[in-house]
Amino acid sequence: MKEIRLSGIRKAYGRETVVHDMDLVVRPGEFLTILGPSGCGKTTTLRAIAGLEEPDDGEIRFDDQVVFSRQKGVIVPPEKRNLGLIFQSYALWPHMTVEKNILQPLQNKGLSRAEIDERTTRALDSVQMSAFRKRYPSELSGGQQQRVAVARMIASQPPILLMDEPLSNLDAKLRLEMRAELLRLHRELGSTTVYVTHDQAEALTLSDTVVVMDQGSIVQIGAPYDIYHHPTNLLVAEFIGEPRINLIEGELTEAGGTVVLQGKGIRIPADAAAGSASRRLVASVRPESILLSTEKRDGWQEVRLDNAQPTGSTTILQVAAGDSRLSLVQTGFVRLEPGIALWIDFDPASVNFFDPATGKNIRTSSKVAGADVG
């Protein structure tokens, strides 16, 4: 268990800066996920922590130990950082058996024979791969290879675990299984974990803290709940959540003493804090927080059902309100005819407002990304 502290980390390839002055603290024992679109610099950040990439500026500490600092003139090489890393490609050594893959790095640490055997066995047991000790990696399925990579990582019991999209090569079912497994292992080992993914569901289920990155910068740091409910900007709002969040652009107007956002064919309740009349804003509403009725109700807005897509446990409804289109999610298998009228309403607490020019959440924009960093 170690704290990881990045301050002012910058990395450029040639002229192009791919990580901008990044500050980040991973608390001891925390499971932190770095989430972001492809090419935003997640892998680069992770490799900088591992020491496989050399930042152009900034400092990295593990607890009190400086492992990288340009100012202080320190680079601790990866082999001395004592961490575990899982690659997207697993990087199992193809010329060694499963057992040897795990033994090799342990032998290197100068452990006693008994200790090595004990750790190997325990690591293989904990990923349920004991039966495959003598196999070569090419004789294993993708999921099994992944487990061996995990076993190799945990056998050396590093205080820091780094994982780069470890589940992206697995099929959907296996991914769910391994997700639970990784979470269990993390609890058992208690290592500080940094996990890179572009799968938002993975980030929400696994993490204590989610870091959303875009174009080399951190956009938001927070608990999954906060990230989901209070995105700091439109990008985060859109990137997280499935089906996609509803965005309605419109103008604030006063009607009968209450402030509403008037979009194309749809009204969203707003409060005075949203600003003065005629300000243009973008409202966001999660599909599952829109209230729905099949009967006419007072003050609710009428919409027309375009289609219903039941997935079994939930149903996604696409509705049209004037020129706007909204997605709704209802629990259960909903059977409704397309074309019928429905009535919807919004809970003001579930609505976020964004400035269309900057994309920033007008409520949380006062406490932006860096503020969470200690």
Partner 1 sequence: MSGDRVSGTGRIGAVLRFQAYRIANRPDMVIGVICLVALAFLVLGPLLEIIRDALSLQPYDLAYHPDGEVGSFSLFHLERVFVSPISKALFYRPLLNSLAIGVTVTAVAVSLGSLLAWLLVRTNVHFKGPLGTLIVVPYMMPSWVIALAWLALFKNDRIGGSEGLAAGLLGFQPPDWVSYGFFPIVVTLSLHYFAYAYLLMSGALATVDSELEEAGAISGMGRWQRLSRITLPLLLPALGSAVVLTFIRILGTFGVPALLGLPVRFFTFSTQIYNSINARNNGDAFVLALVLIVIAVSFIWINSRIIGVRKSFVTMTGKGFRRREINLGLWRVPLTILVWVFVLASVLLPLTILLWESLILLPGDYSLDNLTTYFWIGQGNTNLAYGEPGVLLNDGILNALGNSLKLGVSAALFNGFVGLLVGYAVVRGRGTRLSRWLESIAFAPYIFPSIALGAIYIGMFSTPLGPIPALYGTFAILVLITVVKNLPFTSRTGIAAMLQIDRSLEEAARVLGMGWFKRLVRIIMPLSASGLISGMLLTFITAMRELSLIVLLLSPSNMVVTGVIFYYQEQNMPQHSGAVALLLVLVIVLANVLVRLVAHLAGARSLASNAGA
Residues binding ligand ATP (CB under 6 A): 13, 18, 36, 38-44, 198
Residue 343 partner contact from partner 1, Mg ion, ligand ATP, none using kind-dependent CB cut-offs of 5 to 8 Å:
none
Looking at beta carbons, which residue is closest to ligand ATP? 43
Smallest gap from Cβ 48 to ligand ATP, in A, equals: 9
- Which of residues 40 and 204 has its CB atom nearest to ligand ATP in the complex? 40
CB of 164 to ligand ATP, least distance (A): 7
Report the length, in residues, of the chain. 374
Task: Indicate which of Mg ion, ligand ATP, partner 1, none lies near residue 156 (CB less than 5 to 8 Å, by partner kind).
Answer: partner 1
CB nearer to partner 1: pick between 138 and 311: 138
In the list ligand ATP, partner 1, Mg ion, none, the entry touching 18 (Cβ below 5 to 8 angstroms by class) is: ligand ATP
Q: Does 43 bind Mg ion (CB under 5 A)?
A: yes
Contact predicate 167/178, CB 8 Å: yes
Task: Select the span of 39-47, 56-64, 213-221, 310-318 touching Mg ion (CB under 5 A).
Answer: 39-47
- Note the residues at the interface with partner 1 (CB under 8 A): 50-52, 54, 70-75, 77-85, 87, 89, 91-95, 104-105, 108-109, 136-139, 152, 156
Contact 215, 19 (CB under 8 A): no
Phi-psi region of 29 (alpha: psi -120 to 50; beta: other; left: phi over 0): left
Nearer to partner 1, 12 or 368 (CB): 12
Residue 86 or 261 with smaller CB distance to ligand ATP: 86
* Shortest-Cβ-distance residue relative to Mg ion: 43
Task: State the binding partner of 139 from Mg ion, partner 1, ligand ATP, none, CB within 5 to 8 A by kind.
Answer: partner 1
The verdict on 33 binding Mg ion (CB under 5 A) reads: no
Dig out the tokens for 234 from the structure. 């439109």
The smaller minimum CB distance to partner 1, of residues 105 and 356, is found at: 105
Rounded to a whole number of angstroms, the minimum distance from the CB of residue 311 to Mg ion is 29
ω into 243 cis (within 30 of 0): yes
44 binds, among partner 1, Mg ion, ligand ATP, none (CB under 5 to 8 A by kind): ligand ATP
Q: Which is nearer to Mg ion, 212 or 283 (CB)?
A: 212
Reduce the secondary structure of the chain to three states and give it as a string. CCCEEEEEEEEEECCEEEEEEEEEEECCCCEEEEECCCCCCHHHHHHHHHCCCCCCEEEEEECCEEEEECCCCEECCHHHCCEEEECCCCCCCCCCCHHHHHHHHHHHCCCCHHHHHHHHHHHHHHCCCHHHCCCCHHHCCHHHHHHHHHHHHHHCCCCEEEEECCCCCCCHHHHHHHHHHHHHHHHHHCCEEEEEECCHHHHHHHCCEEEEEECCEEEEEECHHHHHHCCCEHHHHHHCCCCCCEEEEEEEEEECCEEEEECCCCEEEECHHHCCCCCEEEEEECHHHEEEECCCCCCCEEEEEEEEEECCCEEEEEEEECCEEEEEEEECCCCCCCCCEEEEEECHHHEEEECCCCCEECCHHHCCHHHHCC
Min dist. Cβ of residue 13 to ligand ATP (A): 3
Phi then psi for 93, rounded to 5 degrees?
A: -80, 115
Closest contact distance (angstroms) between CB of 218 and partner 1 is: 24
Q: Which of residues 101-140 bind Mg ion (CB under 5 A)?
A: none
Min CB(210)–Mg ion separation in Å: 17
Cβ nearer to ligand ATP, comparing 217 with 350: 217
Least distance between ligand ATP and beta carbon 40 (Å): 4
38 vs 138, beta carbon nearer ligand ATP: 38
- Segment near Mg ion (CB under 5 A); pick from 42-50, 264-272, 294-302, 342-350: 42-50
